[in-house]
Structure 1
Amino acid sequence: MTREPHPIREPHRRPLIGITSYQDEAAWSVWRQRASLLPQTYVDAVVRAGGTPVLLPPQPGGAEHLVDALDGLVLAGGPDVDPARYGAAADPRTGPPHPARDDWEDRLLHAALARDLPLLGVCRGMQLLNVALGGTLLQHLPERSHQIVPAGFVRHPVAVEDGSRLAGVLGGATDVSCYHHQAVDRIGRGLQVTARSADGTVEALELPGHRFVLGVQWHPETDPDDDRLFHAFLTASQPRETTR
């Protein structure tokens, strides 16, 4: 009797995670030109946590179609959000606007929320989440408080709200790496503050009622010895179906 061959089982698909990226002047080899780029730490953090990262540079359209193909979305850190998006005049210390990136990430964010796609906002990403839901930002924190030296992360403790999703991941308090001169001011619709630093700065926001919508003011991707937040995000981003 001829034995039927066993069906080939495909390996478990790793979640496909979109990470928003910069468009800026960059230099490599003999070249210097405008490029789409992202710190490698984001890519490494997603890979360590079990995902497949794809870069999402600003572009004129296709956000809804793209989000349909993803299992999770990371809004990465970057330049200041344009104050015009929350109805404020620019402080002299606020960086120049990047309208293409602001618009692109805003469309990705709203498409992700509409589809209940897991979302992690990092630094600027958390600020954009707050602004997209009607909140505002403090455009400049006291000097040498959360941004001590250029291009240097500073570690400080944050207190996490009991009973929050973040507390379930990190516990009640933890040291984090930060680099920012702006912060959340008025809280956006539906968002809950779930962590603060000792000076009262908002360090984390969550949006209840969704699978995973969490923003942190710090940079968890820079700490390869603590992947708890990315692991929690990737767990929430496990594909709901085996094929697309």
Structure 2
Amino acid sequence: MSTPPLIGISTYRDEASWGVWRQVADIQFAQYADAVVEFAAVPVLLTPAPAHGDDLEAAAAAVVARLDGLIIAGGADIDPERYGATPHPETGGIRPDRDAWELALLDAADTQGLPTLGICRGMQLMAVHAGGTLEQHTPDTVGHTGHSPGGDVFGTTEVSLDRTSQLAAVQGDVVRGPCHHHQSVATHPGFAVTGRAADGSIEAMERVAAEGDSNARRFCVGVQWHPEMGPDHAPIAALVHAARVDRQSGR
């Protein structure tokens, strides 16, 4: 039997409660790991443990070298300074430790050609990592709050996918998925938009291979909805499949 792929999932470091304890912990929604396990892969939680400068880059490179795939998970707003913007009044919950760690993971993933999936914040960070920018408060541009009803409630978004995209191949032309975001991708150098909501907001993107790119067939996809929270885990299935194919081919 072949060894199952190892899929890294980025996490928070935050105060949490369990049993008699209230302590700082490394945490993430269990649905991410459950979805990875569903497709016969092994989830590996990637903590934003303190590291600085070259240590952070070296840590990320060492981790990515041992993985077969990477999920940059959802979460808090990205620091606008990362894309040269002034904070919007609605921008909050910034986590510099996650920003730095996940950007280092994306650097290493690009260098090593690792299959990568960004979910919600993860997709936004992929755009910022590539030199792009964000809409800091999507209701300002679309005129409604349907993408994030508030609190711990998920909305539902319908996304039309480009029929030639990697996602459409596993998802079909239209997907309805849970959503919880007040920010969205505005500019995305190096990525093609492959999915939009009816209001025009960018809901999916895929890496465009540069001429002569040795990783031209690499799976590098971002989705704005939360597939792990709904019944359809197709983007995660596609990531695991890409990781398994790369492992079997020796890439």
Normalised by the length of structure 1, the TM-score is 0.91
The one of 218, 224, 238 equivalent to 1:217 is 224
Q: Could you tell me whether the CA contact under 8 Å between 1:49 and 1:227 is conserved in 2? A: no
Return the alpha-carbon distance in structure 2 between the equivalents of residues 162 and 231 of structure 1.
Answer: 18
CA-CA distance at 1:134 after TM superposition: 0.6
Return the alpha-carbon distance in structure 1 between the equivalents of residues 247 and 16 of structure 2.
Answer: 38
Letter paired with 1:163: T
Return the alpha-carbon distance in structure 1 between the equivalents of residues 249 and 187 of structure 2.
Answer: 41
The one of 224, 228, 235 equivalent to 1:229 is 235
2:157 alignment partner in structure 1: 156
1:173 alignment partner in structure 2: 174
For residue 155 of structure 1, give the secondary structure of its aligned residue in structure 2. strand
- After superposition, the C-alpha distances for 1:164-211 in whole angstroms (9 at most, x for unaligned) are 111111111111110000001122x21000000010000001003241
- After superposition, the C-alpha distances for 1:118-155 in whole angstroms (9 at most, x for unaligned) are 00000000000000001000000215221113111111
Q: Which has the higher helix share?
A: 2
State yes or no: 1:205 paired with 2:205: yes
Letter paired with 1:119: T
State yes or no: 1:191 paired with 2:181: no
Q: Could you tell me whether the CA contact under 8 Å between 1:116 and 1:210 is conserved in 2? A: no
2:108 alignment partner in structure 1: 111
Q: Could you tell me whether the CA contact under 8 Å between 1:155 and 1:176 is conserved in 2? A: yes
For residue 180 of structure 1, give the secondary structure of its aligned residue in structure 2. coil
Return the alpha-carbon distance in structure 2 between the equivalents of residues 72 and 158 of structure 1.
Answer: 25
The one of 32, 45, 50 equivalent to 1:42 is 32
Return the alpha-carbon distance in structure 1 between the equivalents of residues 249 and 123 of structure 2.
Answer: 30
CA-CA distance at 1:30 after TM superposition: 0.8
The one of 67, 70, 76 equivalent to 1:70 is 67
Identity %, equivalent residues:
46
Q: CA RMSD in A?
A: 1.5
Structure 1's unaligned 5+ residue stretches are: 1-10
Aligned pairs for 1:53-132 (under 5 A) are 53-59=43-49, 60=51, 61=56, 62-132=59-129
For residue 102 of structure 1, give the secondary structure of its aligned residue in structure 2. helix
Q: Could you tell me whether the CA contact under 8 Å between 2:159 and 2:197 is conserved in 1? A: yes
Letter paired with 1:226: D
For residue 185 of structure 1, give the secondary structure of its aligned residue in structure 2. strand
Q: Could you tell me whether the CA contact under 8 Å between 1:13 and 1:242 is conserved in 2? A: no
Return the alpha-carbon distance in structure 1 between the equivalents of residues 150 and 132 of structure 2.
Answer: 28
For residue 7 of structure 2, give the secondary structure of its aligned residue in structure 1. strand
Q: Could you tell me whether the CA contact under 8 Å between 1:64 and 1:111 is conserved in 2? A: yes
Normalised by the length of structure 2, the TM-score is 0.89
Bigger radius of gyration among the two? 1
Return the alpha-carbon distance in structure 1 between the equivalents of residues 20 and 71 of structure 2.
Answer: 31
For residue 23 of structure 1, give the secondary structure of its aligned residue in structure 2. strand
CA-CA distance at 1:55 after TM superposition: 0.4
Alignment: residue pair count: 231
After TM superposition, where is structure 1 displaced by more than 3 Å over at least 4 residues in a row?
none
The one of 6, 10, 17 equivalent to 1:20 is 10
Return the alpha-carbon distance in structure 1 between the equivalents of residues 184 and 247 of structure 2.
Answer: 35
Return the alpha-carbon distance in structure 1 between the equivalents of residues 94 and 154 of structure 2.
Answer: 23
